[in-house]
Amino acid sequence: MRILFTFTGGVGHFRPLLPLARAAAARGDAVMFSCQQAMMGFVTAAGFAAVDSGGKTIASPDFRGALQPTDRTREATVIRETFAGRVASERAARLRKIASDWQADVLVRDEVDFGAAVAAESLGLPHVCVIVLAAGAMITPDLISEPMNALRSDYGLPADPHLAMLHRYLTLAPLPPTYRSTDDPLPATARHIQPAALDRRAFVGRSSPATARTLDWLGQRPGRATVYITLGTIFHQESGDLLPRILAAVCDLDGNVVATVGSEIDPAELGPQPETVRIERFIPQEALLPHCDLVISHAGSGSVLGALAFGVPLVLLPIGADQPRNAARCHSLQVAEILDPITADDAAVSSAVSTVLTNPIYRNAAKQLRDEAAALPTADEAAQWIANLVDPILS
């Protein structure tokens, strides 16, 4: 079987697909990824072939943006006009040709790769949606049906006012069922699987110098609380002074602090740090989170689900996109304290950190979600479900 994996955005859109690709490859399936040019290196580093499908969404590495107040109207416009509009249109044409030339049997796409769904439908191929906006409530037919149906018309497809095509065959949700917002239940075709951070193949043979030296450093500092700070792989470039403020709030913590800043930022930009703080560009979640007691993050879906997969509570400072919804969900589940990234000062961050580290309610609630995630089907099982869409005999 030949499976074309496609995603529109950055690492947060790629990582949820990766366990499925590894599981499919282990089955003997042919696997290829299609993504925008800026992400091809990440795909090939993970051991898979990649082809450029266009649809640029990622800023240049030297971009730095000021921190802006959350604007849900603006975020909805991005979903409608960028992802369901320009990007979907650009990617549909390219993905249709790639899938046809490569003779794909099935497409597996990230949730907002709308163009991939249209490309698959136009070729009569089954397609699988992988949820990347964990809490939900961002994609509705009212928001995107107009641009999506215009694109369908371009490919001779009938109108689909309720956008049934997006979840027509199979939707995979790599998150604990309890986590999903009750305001946006998953479709009937949805099946939950383990979060990407629990992929048992993820860390095999994939250590790095940054990972090794950080784990060695932690091993030399036992008995201390370990706090992990991340602003993700997209919003770290438009977070203004947020990371320096967070570091200032925890620099005197009697524990260990590990911050990752992404490949676009040089840790030296943040200046000298005390011996209790380590800053690296990137460390895989699955390597670091088992050693953590708290995660401070922007509330991106990947960061939140990774922490909860290991039973780690959070302090969240949501900036944009799906982050306010993730923060709200985490607050309702009692796994996180929430702060305003614009107004939170050293004292507010320090107080939130102390609260989450000392009050067992946060850790206990996070452990419940950890146990729920661990009990879910694996990517190996999901790979069998994907095969069954093509030929039941294959599974």
Q: How many CB atoms lie within 10 A of CB 285?
A: 27
Is residue 97's pLDDT more than 90?
Answer: yes
Verify that 92 and 183 share a domain, yes or no.
yes
Residues 6 or more apart whose Cβ sits within 8 Å of residue 122: 92, 96, 155, 156, 157
Write down the pLDDT at residue 103. Answer: 97
Q: Which two tokens stand for residue 312?
A: 């780690």
Q: Do 149 and 251 fall into the same domain?
A: no
Top-confidence residue, 177 or 233? 177
Residue 288 domain flag? yes
47 vs 60, higher pLDDT: 47
| Tokens 């949805």, located at residue | 190
The pLDDT, as a whole number, for residue 238 is: 64
Residue 202 lies in a domain: no
Question: Which of 14-23, 279-288, 351-360 comes out lowest in average pLDDT?
Answer: 279-288
| Rounded to 5°, angle at Cα 185 from 16 and 135 | 45
pLDDT tens digits, one per residue of 122-142: 999 999 999 999 999 889 989
In a domain, 130, yes or no: yes
Shared-domain flag, residues 333 and 381: no
Task: State the pLDDT confidence band at 53, using cuts at 50, 70 and 90.
Answer: very high
Q: What is the pTM (predicted TM-score) of this model?
A: 0.93
Residue 230 pLDDT greater than 50, yes or no: yes
Q: Is residue 64 part of a domain?
A: yes
CA distance 376 to 390: 23
Tell me if 289 sits within 8 A of 230, measured CB to CB.
no
On whether both 269 and 162 belong to a single domain, the answer is no
Q: Is the pLDDT confidence value at 227 over 60? A: yes
Residue 392 pLDDT greater than 70, yes or no = no
Q: In the predicted model, is pLDDT for residue 99 greater than 90? A: yes
Do 227 and 314 lie in one domain? The reply is: yes
Mean pLDDT to the nearest integer, 181-189 = 91
Same domain, 110 and 145: yes
Q: Are residues 100 and 166 in the same domain?
A: yes
pLDDT at 237 over 70: no
Are 158 and 258 within one domain?
Answer: no
Q: What is the pLDDT of residues 257-315, one digit of tens each?
A: 999 988 777 888 888 888 999 999 888 888 999 999 999 999 999 999 999 999 999 99
The residue among 224, 231, 229 whose CA lies nearest residue 253 is 224
pLDDT-based confidence at residue 393 (cuts at 50, 70, 90): low
- Compute the C-alpha angle 181/282/130, nearest 5°: 35
Above 60 in pLDDT, residue 362?
yes
Q: What is the pLDDT of residue 234?
A: 61
The pLDDT of 213-230, averaged and rounded, is 91
**Position 205 confidence tier, pLDDT thresholds 50, 70, 90:** very low
367 plus 387 within the same structural domain: no
Do 144 and 80 meet the contact criterion of CB atoms below 8 Å apart?
Answer: yes
Cβ contact 225:293 at 8 Å: yes
pLDDT at residue number 62: 63
- The answer to the question of residue 203 being in a domain is no
Same domain, 44 and 158: yes
pLDDT band at residue 236, thresholds of 50, 70 and 90?
A: low
Which CATH number characterizes residue 16's domain?
3.40.50.2000
Q: How confident is the model at residue 395 (pLDDT cuts 50, 70, 90)?
A: very low
For the chain, what is the domain count? Answer: 2
For residue 210, the model assigns a pLDDT of: 87
Q: Does pLDDT of 64 surpass 90?
A: no
Domain membership flag for residue 199: no
Decide if pLDDT at 17 tops 90. Answer: yes
Please check whether residue 201 lies inside any domain of the structure.
no
**Same domain? 126 vs 260:** no
Residue 8 belongs to a domain = yes
* Sign of the dihedral defined by the CA atoms of residues 306, 61, 65, 228, in that order: positive
* Token duo for residue 352: 């939130």
Task: Give the pLDDT band of residue 63 (cuts 50, 70, 90).
Answer: low
Q: What is the mean pLDDT of the chain?
A: 91
CA distance 356 to 129: 34
- Asked if residue 365 and residue 280 are part of one domain, the reply reads yes
Angle at 351 between CA 349 and CA 352, to 5 degrees: 65
Which residue range forms the structural domain that includes residue 385?
2-194+376-394
